[in-house]
Amino acid sequence: MIKTDVLIVGGGLSGLTAARTLQGKKRYLLAEKEPLTGGLAASVKKNGFTFDYSGHLLHLHWKKTGDLILRLLKNNHYKIRRNAWIHLKGGEVPYPFQANLYNLPDKIKSECVCGFLEACLRGKGGSGHARAGMPFKNWSINTFGAGISKHFMLPYNYKLWQYPLDRLTADWCAPFVPMPNPREVLEGAYRTRSTEMGYNPVFYYPRLGGIQALPDALAKGLKDIHTGCELRSLNLKTKTAFINGLGAVKYGSLINTMPLKYFVELIKSPPAGLRALNAKLRHNTIYVLNLGVKGTSSKKHWTYFPESEFLFYRAGIATNFSRHLAPKGCSSLYIETATYGADLDPGAAEKKIFRGLIKGGVIKNEKDIIEKLWLKIPCAYVIYDSARNIALPPILSTLADNNIHSIGRYGAWKYSFMEESVKEGLETAKKIITNRAPRR
């Protein structure tokens, strides 16, 4: 039987960063079920195109991890100013919608401005304050008013989450939804303003290799990475994992980065109540249609499509992050469609998507499409609802009691971003090196 101090499940950014931090300090073994490491930050090469699992842009918020990421990428990166839009009623509004109402047709602008003023008069507009567990729909109407909610916040978020917005909570919003103050909303309704708001007004992206350049740099020189090795079951009492291709692995502590819900399902004879709590965790699924297209047109990075006549919720132009993602004279697009608990039929979806791309002005002619690749993200956005609030703390604390650190976007079952996965991998490995218990 293999024995290790630390078993790491999953070779995405959080698992790889943990392995890199443990290297030379503790015995570790990283098991990744796919043939390559990278997780959601992987890139796929096809006939001269490099496709990511949708746009994967590095927005850096913390000095330590920001420096580490840029050091790993060496000079292989661009620094880019966001150029994002919302397609509505045949026109375009710069992102964020709530701070750029000036570009809307008069009637809609008036609904949005009046609704926002009413929300301000009720004392809540612009504050963004959400009590824990507050339904997203109420939060949006309180914060932005009825008009902004009706024309953007509600239809867009329903398309993304595919979950009833009176059951989705607003607990995820604070870092991700730009919250202009009343002055900024009103100024944005009557004159062109800066779009530098939100968590990613400036971002970094690898010059060569797609976003896979980052996990590749992290994995370089790591000794105990085992790809094609899937965790199949776990015995908490004996601290033994059964992994395809490796057999039984006895560990001292375990870092889990695979989706929590499916990790817990692998536990043999789990503590009482754990399965029932786990059954409360939900997530949606994203299908990314990557397209290689002849010619290049707009300089936009991505456009949001809140209207239901478009199947997809966002369409991006990856070659505007790095022109090296496509052969000369071509561009590369990524189109994102969400589902909840249902499969998407790619054939039927493609027809609707192509029609939408032409209507939305993203491509001129279907004949320009010369390459395509569907990438599916089965567990994409974890659902924030009251059931998550009830189930997550006891699940994580049961795992912590068994020396399991469950981290990363899916291990911790949250809405987060690449730098945060790197940060958690780093901090968790350091805790293990200094012998501190998992966070409860």
Ligand X SMILES: Cc1cc2nc3c(=O)[nH]c(=O)nc-3n(C[C@H](O)[C@H](O)[C@H](O)COP(=O)(O)OP(=O)(O)OC[C@H]3O[C@@H](n4cnc5c(N)ncnc54)[C@H](O)[C@@H]3O)c2cc1C
Residue type, 424: E
**Alpha carbon distance, N-terminus to C-terminus of the chain:** 30
- As given in the structure block, the two tokens for residue 102 are 């000036």
Give yes or no for residue 216 binding ligand X (CB under 6 A): no
DSSP helix/strand/coil, 384: coil
The answer to whether 418 contacts ligand X (rule: CB under 6 A) is yes
423 touches ligand X by CB under 6 A: no
Considering beta carbons, is residue 384 or 410 the nearer one to ligand X? Answer: 410
Tell me the number of residues near ligand X by CB under 6 A.
32
Examine residue 377 and tell whether it contacts ligand X (CB under 6 A).
yes
Q: Of the candidates 286, 284, 381, 288, which has an alpha carbon nearest to the alpha carbon of residue 335?
A: 288
Minimum distance of ligand X from residue 113's CB (angstroms): 31
Q: How far is the CB of 223 from ligand X (least distance, A)?
A: 18
Q: Which is nearer to ligand X, 31 or 315 (CB)?
A: 31
| Three-class SS state of 256 | strand
Decide if residue 213 touches ligand X (CB under 6 A): no
| Single residue of 119, 417, 423, 429 touching ligand X by CB under 6 A | 417
Q: Which stretch binds ligand X (CB under 6 A): 154-162, 173-181, 360-368, 412-420?
A: 412-420
Binder among 13, 84, 99, 293 for ligand X (CB under 6 A) = 13
Residue 402's contacts (CB-CB under 8 Å, 6 or more residues apart) are 236, 239
Residues numbered 223 to 252 that lie near ligand X (CB under 6 A) are 230-231
Contact flag: residue 31 with ligand X (CB under 6 A):
yes
CB of 336 to ligand X, least distance (A): 6
Which candidate, 10, 5, 6, 3, places its Cα nearest to that of 227? Answer: 10
Is residue 410 near ligand X by the rule CB under 6 A?
yes
3-state secondary structure of 340: coil
Vertex 197 angle, CA 193 and 199, to 5°: 165
Q: How far is CA 197 from CA 156, 274, 280, 313, in A?
A: 18, 41, 34, 20
Residue partners of 22: CB distance under 8 A and separation at least 6: 6, 28, 429, 432, 433
Ranges assigned E (strand) in 295-432: 302-304, 314-317, 330-339, 369-377, 404-406
Minimum CB distance to ligand X smaller for 112 or for 243: 243
Smaller CB separation from ligand X, 144 or 312: 312
User: Per CB under 6 A, does 19 bind ligand X?
Assistant: no
In the bound state with ligand X, the residue whose beta carbon lies nearer, of 184 and 419, is 419
We find the least distance from the C-beta atom of residue 325 to ligand X, in angstroms, to be 15
In the list 7, 9, 73, 325, the residue contacting ligand X (rule: CB under 6 A) is 9
Cα separation of 214 and 212, whole Å? 5
Considering only 4, 19, 33, 432, the residue that binds ligand X (CB under 6 A) is: 33
Closer CB to ligand X, 10 or 188, in the complex: 10
Q: Dihedral sign for Cα 349, 352, 355, 359, please.
A: negative
CA distances from 313 to 54, 127, 162, 250, 368 (A): 12, 27, 11, 44, 22
- What count of Cα atoms within 13 Å lies in the side-chain half-sphere of residue 101? 28
Q: Does 41 bind ligand X (CB under 6 A)?
A: yes
Q: Is 20 in the site for ligand X (CB under 6 A)?
A: no
State which of residues 380, 382, 383, 391 lies at the interface with ligand X (CB under 6 A): 380
Binding span for ligand X by CB under 6 A among 4-12, 83-91, 92-100, 290-298: 4-12
* 96 cis-preceded (ω within 30 degrees of 0): yes
Determine contact, residues 365/398, Cβ cutoff 8 Å. Answer: no
d(CA 348, CA 197): 37
What is the nearest approach in angstroms of ligand X to the Cβ of residue 343? 17
Contact range with ligand X by CB under 6 A, out of 91-99, 127-135, 270-278, 417-425: 417-425
Judged by beta carbon, residue 377 or residue 400, the one nearer ligand X is: 377
Q: What mask, x for binding ligand X by CB under 6 A, covers residues 250 to 279?
A: -------xx---------------------
Segment lying near ligand X (by CB under 6 A), choices 26-34, 233-241, 323-331, 384-392: 26-34
Task: Tell the smallest beta-carbon distance from residue 314 to ligand X (Å).
Answer: 9
List of residues contacting ligand X (CB under 6 A):
9-15, 31-34, 39-41, 54-57, 230-231, 257-258, 286, 377, 380, 408-410, 416-418, 421
